[in-house]
Chains A and B, each alone.
Chain A
Amino acid sequence: MATDVKKKPAKRAPKTNAIGLEKGEYRGRPSTLCKGCGHDSISARITNAVWERGLSMNQVIKMSGIGCSSKTPAYFLGESHGFNSVHGRMPSVTTGALVANRTLKAVGVSGDGDTASIGIGQFKHAVRRNLPMVYIVENNGVYGLTKGQFSATADQGQRLKYSGVNELPPLDICLEALAASATFVARSFAGDAKQIDALLQAALSHRGMAVIDIISPCVTFNNHDTSTKSYGWGKDNEIPIHELNYVPHYEEIEIDDYDDEIEVKMHDGSYLVLKKLDEDYDPTDKINAIQTLEEAHKAQKMLTGLFYVDESQPDTMELLNMVDEPLSSLPEERMRPTREALAAVMATF
């Protein structure tokens, strides 16, 4: 028998990550979104990024608000705790969760309604605090679950079947983030898996909040070719400002002085290598980032890539000066004052 086995060609071992798990194990429940929804592609990218990083799923929390995008955390990383909270309030819930356990990696998924309409306040304040999390906006310019109303990122002058014409200018999530002193601002397109992969890896290494605004077409309500949030438009008009490659901290990087490459060292020692394309773009120049986004907006260009990164700013948890271990793991005696300290306070009254 044994010899028989030996003779058979070895069955190819399934590919596993650094902690010995197959990618399939990082799956969630089956998606209930519309077939072809951009959000499902993004879920696949998140699954891939966490798997590839070799993160244990129980080190990750999946956070969301309300909406189509916010349902997606059920559809990836089945062994991660997930929290589908209330509309527009994912940032505050995530803040609390990270205070309780600062060792967790938070991956937040939001939508354009959840972030740019009802949640713009919490979004900007979490950005301002540099809350350490990956904040993904699955941006389709439309409310899907309530059947096709305009969101705050909808194009001015856009026409939708039931909602008529949108008279108002859009909010640009990347510009809003920059105005709120964001430290990592990127845009991508749901159809650009390679770019999303690199951005997610860099985001997972970032010190503070990584905002990734991903244009994610709504195949049901906003996918006609004139919409800047459609597959057709995205495929024809996406202009990456650079080609992104992520180099993990455990792989050696050769720092070359090639004129057409920029390396950004992330907080955890990894690198993001940006290969210049047509544009001569420096992602550490904030003024340039704002100008580039404004000009792209005017010219109706869909620029994608990492617009801005700054690894020098402390994140919320650093500023709170808490003990290193999770507060949630502290035993009772470390959650109380000493008898002497309480008595000393009482003696001051």
Chain B
Amino acid sequence: MSTLVQDAPVNADAKSQIVNDFNINVATANGSGSQTSNLVLIRALFEMGIPVTGKNFFPSNIQGLPTWYQMRLSKEGYFARRDGIEITVCMNPATVAEDMETTIPGGIVLYDDSLPIANHRKDITFFPMPVKALVKEADLPHSLKSYVANFVYVGVLAALLDIEMDEIKKALDWQFDGKEKPIAMNYNMATAGYDWAIANIENGQPYRVERMSGFNEGKILIDGNTAAGIGALAHGVQLMAWYPITPSSSVADAINTYAPQLRTDPDTGKATYAVIQAEDELAAIGMVIGAGWAGARAMTSTAGPGISLMAEFAGLSQFAEIPAVIWDIQRMGPSTGLPTRTCQSDIQSAYNLSHGDSRHPVLFPSSPEECFEMAGDAFDLAERLQTLVFVLSDLDLGMNLWTADPFDFPEKPMDRGKVLSEEDLNELKGQWGRFVDKDGDGIGYRTIPGNKHRSAAYFTRGTGHNEYAVYSERPDDWENNLDRLRRKFDTARKIAPQPEIFDNDKAEIGIISLGSIHPAVVEARDRMSAAGVETSYLRLRSLPISQSVIDFINKYGVLYIVENNYDGQLRGILQNEVPARAANMIQMSKCDGMPVSARWITEAITTHVE
């Protein structure tokens, strides 16, 4: 029987085979250990050279609620979420009926044969797996049974799809860091599933994987939050103050994991950084601002509810002109919303966080590489501009696995901004004003506490002040200050990360998008181009917008602003910035908790064009 799969895959009808281009959806219960089996699967596929992304759709729950892991294999190298499930693995009785229903016609369903099944669809192929029996035979410790059981579907999938068992073994080695006992236990379970499938399944189903080259060589699989944490450590973070909140906690986890290796002082063995889990988000941002004021690179990571709590401090950072960095890993709002679902709905609240005329530069990474780089950009900008800088990632980018280039050591020197040292003050004979705009860029010079010059000190406050940091309620002082802050914001337009522009000479329509939607836009543009709809595309990398964004907006008759929120928040900001073109900007926003797909973008734009 085993010959069917191993020796003679060509025997199956080659024309009907679908190779390296389908979705696998694994449905399990949260806390059942399926994360391990899914990570092993995706790594094995990745090491076979197949472009693959994995997205975890998980509940806000510790144990028991349904969770799904979707892997997209795309031989063309598209990484966005794709609609339609070709292969479903059902391990969760609570959702088995629904999971079987959502499989596309022609698809296949693998299921634990102990699940209650009432589906009689004729357009899909069912493969019951004897999970209980195989687990029983394996004679596992009772406490581990349900975890290891997941490796049955790993083995069965390997047999059905031609995933190399050797790669499963290597992925297990990686996952368990060479620990022999769990590797052997899980591998044996996968092998049992594999052997059973080879012996018992007539593999007429069309889905196959094949080793390929050209995409994954030299690449790594990594999530955005880990990239952000390593990026922060590589770019000089000295204080990470944070409070646990989904989906941002893994930024702090990454810093805690890698800091000892990356940032221990070789001479003393002591830390060149501090990580503090604060009592709440207010304390976290307060610590960041205190550290920024006293000359350290400091950041926090949080999500929507966290930035709401940080609002008062955000205004202090802007108005008292203190460097600070907030990573907001966006999740669904308003309110508690859906803590474990993705969206981009904090764009406006981050941009204008706090009362009064508050505004802050905001960066939008769209890949792990950019999470790494922007960790540095954010510190450089915060210190150069002496203000709060947001980095807006989201759950999809932050917590899911993406293919990325390994991160290179940063070659660009740090920009620590305008700081007057003791020597500088000696040269100035102690004459300086904290908020004097000497250079015309809206940015004053600051001193760092501990500076020994007798004129170094100034008094920092969120109340009204003049150029010399002295309390003032004078109308002209107030206006001059806000005018200068405006000039500073205009400086930010020039030095913040510039947009990535894909100009297409044949295009009459432009797309503006940002963040984790990028891969979906790339794919949608290819699809539309193939259908004769040509587009240009600007990927926004920061706010406030620069001249190049205004030029792009002026160039195209119709602009689709594609974003993952309900209100079209980016569109609102762009309309405000370029009011003369407001009517040309079409809202193209989607907000259902799922990462935006290329299909949705394609359909939304082509429908509108027609």
Contacts from A to B (Cβ < 8 Å): 56-59, 61, 73-74, 78-86, 89, 91-101, 103-104, 121-122, 125, 320-324, 326-330, 332, 334-337, 339, 341-346, 349
Contacts and interface: CB of A to CB of B under 8 A. Distances in A.
Given A86-B316, A99-B287, A328 B296 contact: yes
Contacts of B285: 92
Given A96-B290, A97-B290, A125-B283, A57 B457 contact: yes
A121 B575 CA distance: 42
A93 B414 contact: no
Given A58-B452, A61-B449, A81-B460, A342 B293 contact: no
Given A92-B241, A99-B296, 18 more contacts: A58-B456, A79-B455, A81-B447, A82-B457, A85-B286, A86-B312, A89-B286, A93-B287, A93-B289, A95-B241, A96-B241, A96-B292, A96-B294, A97-B293, A326-B450, A328-B238, A336-B234, A345-B261
Interface string B450-487: 11111111111111000000010000000000000000
Contacts of B239: 96, 99-100, 327
B455 to A, nearest CB: 8
A96 B457 contact: no
Most B CB within 10 A of own CB, among A56, A335, A346:
A335
B147 to A, nearest CB: 23
B176 interface: no
B287 A95 contact: yes
Given A56-B452, A121-B280, A341 B262 contact: yes
Contact of B279 (A121, A321, A324, A326): A121
B287 A324 contact: no
A81 B274 contact: no
Nearest to A335: B236
Contacts of B265: 323, 334
Given A84-B461, A341-B261, A99 B271 contact: no
17 contacts: A58-B451, A58-B456, A83-B460, A89-B286, A96-B292, A96-B294, A97-B294, A99-B274, A100-B238, A101-B295, A104-B449, A324-B270, A326-B295, A327-B238, A335-B236, A339-B409, A346-B406
A322 B240 CA distance: 13
Nearest to A317: B274
Nearest to A83: B460
A330 B234 CA distance: 14
Interface residues of B, number: 70
Contacts of B450: 58-59, 101, 103-104, 326, 328-329
Given A95-B276, A121-B280, A335 B238 contact: yes
Given A85-B286, A327-B273, A330-B272, A100 B295 contact: yes
Contacts of A97: 290-291, 293-294, 449
Contacts of B294: 61, 96-98, 100-101, 104, 328
Nearest to B419: A328
A321 B273 CA distance: 9
Contacts of A337: 233-234, 261-263
A322 B271 contact: yes
Given A79-B457, A122-B286, A334 B272 contact: yes
Contacts of B455: 79
Nearest to B230: A345
B407 A344 contact: no
The 6 closest A-B pairs by CB, nearest first: A96-B290, A92-B286, A328-B295, A100-B294, A100-B296, A335-B236
B272 A335 contact: yes
B282 A122 contact: yes
A154 to B, nearest CB: 25
Contacts of A98: 290, 294
A121 B280 CA distance: 9
A92 B283 contact: yes
Interface of B: 220-222, 230, 233-236, 238-239, 241, 258, 261-263, 265, 268, 270-274, 276, 278-280, 282-298, 312-313, 316, 406-407, 409-410, 413-414, 447-463, 471
A341 B238 CA distance: 17
A274 to B, nearest CB: 33
A100 B457 contact: no
A316 B345 CA distance: 37
Contacts of A341: 261-262
Nearest to B266: A338
B235 A82 contact: no
A346 B287 contact: no
Contact of A345 (B238, B258, B286): B258
Given A82-B459, A83-B290, A342 B409 contact: yes
B298 A96 contact: yes
Nearest to B451: A58
Contacts of B268: 323-324
A124 to B, nearest CB: 8
Given A96-B288, A97-B449, A341-B262, A89 B235 contact: no
A22 B147 CA distance: 73
A304 B282 CA distance: 33
B260 to A, nearest CB: 10
A321 B286 contact: no
B313 A89 contact: yes
Given A336-B410, A345-B230, A84 B459 contact: yes
A343 B406 CA distance: 9
Contacts of B447: 81
A349 B401 CA distance: 11
Nearest to A96: B290
Contacts of A345: 230, 258, 261-262
B384 to A, nearest CB: 15
A100 B290 contact: yes
Given A121-B279, A125-B279, A337-B233, A95 B286 contact: yes
A82 B274 CA distance: 23
Given A334-B272, A335-B236, A85 B462 contact: yes
B261 A122 contact: no
A321 B280 contact: no
A254 B463 CA distance: 50
A81 B290 CA distance: 12
A55 to B, nearest CB: 13
Nearest to A322: B271
A97 B293 CA distance: 7
A74 B263 CA distance: 38
A226 to B, nearest CB: 34
B289 A96 contact: yes
Given A326-B450, A328-B296, A345-B261, A80 B457 contact: yes
Contacts of B261: 337, 341, 344-345
Contacts of A81: 447, 449, 456-460
B271 A321 contact: yes
